[in-house]
């Protein structure tokens, strides 16, 4: 979404590159385990005295200055006597991460070390969370284009992508097969009507950012309608978060992966319809899956989203947004459709 940024902090610096030049910097800056081994998802059990273990999971969200927001909860089980859902603070130290805080009416303490998390109630009658770090992946990451699809950004590991389908040569190519946001938005040279789009994106690690100032970009259909790209990991989804049709439709669940993970959009878009005289007769609709989770199905779009062109057209380009954040894209392809309903 196009808004003025209040501030921007980027942990890694990218050297100046000539247009369309292969970035030569180390790709370690894109490895989540090397950048921040604590951030991300954890799975395990909640252990309570005299009770059977209950499945549990956690999200660890970096918030800058070696501090973290740690959200832990038990998974839905029909006969659980009590289902704790806690939010505490993590502080990174030389020995690991120390956990502490008051939540759900109890005082909690614990640590994360070597990929294992333990969080317990500071009482001999309390329970304990025992979890381990996991790396989740989108089930559609690396999805191959079907026969007849138009490859807009080919993906091959170890090879810089061909960016010739795009009109902005200032965007950077990386040897991991990705294209990184440069100066200014980037449009496809082709235009599309009814279409199926597969797109993969990677949010940068920006722990000091908040809200729209954290890994912001977006993909516009027909240069008008934006499914949001943003670091919304661990948040209660709102109309401006990742997976939203910006300020039109809120995601029913948060399907985001942590920053530096490759995430996927799989989207079907039906263009607006027009009469023989050229008058608009039907609004466009869109079906959106984020990381394999369906968030919107045939969502009608009655107006352009913020930052999009006004008016309705039969065909238009895709636009990837520059919002001042080094978001990366890869494996983008489009399949032209003729949707009858």
Same domain, 170 and 226: yes
* Residue 68, pLDDT score: 98
Same domain, 130 and 213: no
The residue among 70, 102, 134 that closes a domain is 134
Same domain, 209 and 332: yes
Same domain, 269 and 231: yes
Same domain, 160 and 130: no
pLDDT exceeds 90 at position 48: no
Three-state DSSP at 34 gives: helix
3 found inside a domain: no
Same domain, 227 and 321: yes
Expressed as residue numbers, the domain containing 196 is: 150-336
Cα 68 from Cα 52, distance rounded (Å): 30
Cα 234 from Cα 224, distance rounded (Å): 28
Place of tokens 């263009």: 271
* Residue 109, pLDDT score: 95
331 found inside a domain: yes
44 found inside a domain: yes
Q: How many domains does the chain have?
A: 2
Contacts 24+ apart (CB under 8 A), 114-120: 115/37, 117/42, 117/44, 117/58, 117/60, 119/58, 119/70, 119/72, 119/86, 119/88
Q: Higher pLDDT residue, 25 or 110? A: 110
Element (H, E) at 33: helix 32-35
Same domain, 213 and 251: yes
**CA of 69: how far to CAs of 41, 183, 224, 234, in Å?**
12, 32, 35, 9
pLDDT band at 28 (very low <50, low <70, confident <90, very high): confident
The residue among 108, 134, 160 that closes a domain is 134
Q: The whole model's pTM is what? A: 0.88
* Mean pLDDT lowest among 69-83, 116-130, 177-191, 269-283: 69-83
83: left (phi over 0), alpha (psi -120 to 50) or beta: beta
pLDDT digits (tens, 9 = 90+) for 68-115: 999 999 876 555 445 568 999 999 999 999 999 999 888 999 999 999
E strands, 207-327, in order: 217-220, 228-229, 262-270, 273-274, 280-282, 285-290, 293-300, 319-320
Q: What is the CATH number of the domain that holds 110?
A: 2.40.128.120
For Cα atoms 185, 191, 193, give the angle at the middle one, nearest 5 degrees: 120
174 found inside a domain: yes
pLDDT digits (tens, 9 = 90+) for 292-319: 999 999 999 999 999 999 999 999 999 9
| Percent above pLDDT 70 for the chain | 89
* Residue 20, pLDDT score: 43
The residue among 86, 102, 134 that closes a domain is 134
pLDDT digits (tens, 9 = 90+) for 51-69: 889 999 999 999 999 999 9
pLDDT digits (tens, 9 = 90+) for 165-202: 999 999 999 999 999 999 999 999 999 999 999 999 99
Same domain, 239 and 123: no
Q: What is the CATH number of the domain that holds 313?
A: 2.60.120.560
Same domain, 202 and 305: yes
Same domain, 86 and 180: no
């Amino acid at each position: 979404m196009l808004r003025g940024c209040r501030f921007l902090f980027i942990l890694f610096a990218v050297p100046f590159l000539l247009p369309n030049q292969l970035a030569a910097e180390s790709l370690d800056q894109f490895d989540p385990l090397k950048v921040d081994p604590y951030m991300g998802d954890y799975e395990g059990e909640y252990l309570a005295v005299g009770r059977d273990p209950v499945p549990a999971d956690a999200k660890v969200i970096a918030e800058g200055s070696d501090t973290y927001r740690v959200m832990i909860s038990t998974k839905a089980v029909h006969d659980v006597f009590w289902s704790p859902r806690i939010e505490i603070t993590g502080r990174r130290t030389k020995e690991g991460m120390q956990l502490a805080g008051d939540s759900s009416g109890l005082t909690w303490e614990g640590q994360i070390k070597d990929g294992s998390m333990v969080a317990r109630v500071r009482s001999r009658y309390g329970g304990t969370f025992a979890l381990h770090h996991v790396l989740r992946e989108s089930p559609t990451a690396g999805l191959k284009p079907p026969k007849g699809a138009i490859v807009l950004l080919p993906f091959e590991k170890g090879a810089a992508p061909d960016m010739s389908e795009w009109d902005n040569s200032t965007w950077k190519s990386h040897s991991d097969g990705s294209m990184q946001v440069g100066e200014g938005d980037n449009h496809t040279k082709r235009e599309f009507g009814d279409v199926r789009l597969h797109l993969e994106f990677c949010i940068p690690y920006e722990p000091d950012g908040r809200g729209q100032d954290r890994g912001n970009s977006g993909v516009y259909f027909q240069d008008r309608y934006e499914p949001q790209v943003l670091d919304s990991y661990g948040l209660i989804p709102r109309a401006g978060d990742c997976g939203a049709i910006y300020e039109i439709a809120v995601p029913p669940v948060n399907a985001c992966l942590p920053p530096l993970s490759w995430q996927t959009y799989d989207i079907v878009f039906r263009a607006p319809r027009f009469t023989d005289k050229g008058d608009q007769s039907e609004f466009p609709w869109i079906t959106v899956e984020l990381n394999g989770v369906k968030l919107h199905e045939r969502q009608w779009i009655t107006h352009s989203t913020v930052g999009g062109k006004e008016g309705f057209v039969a065909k238009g380009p895709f636009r990837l947004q520059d919002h001042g954040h080094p978001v990366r894209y890869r494996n983008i392809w489009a399949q032209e459709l003729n949707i009858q309903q």
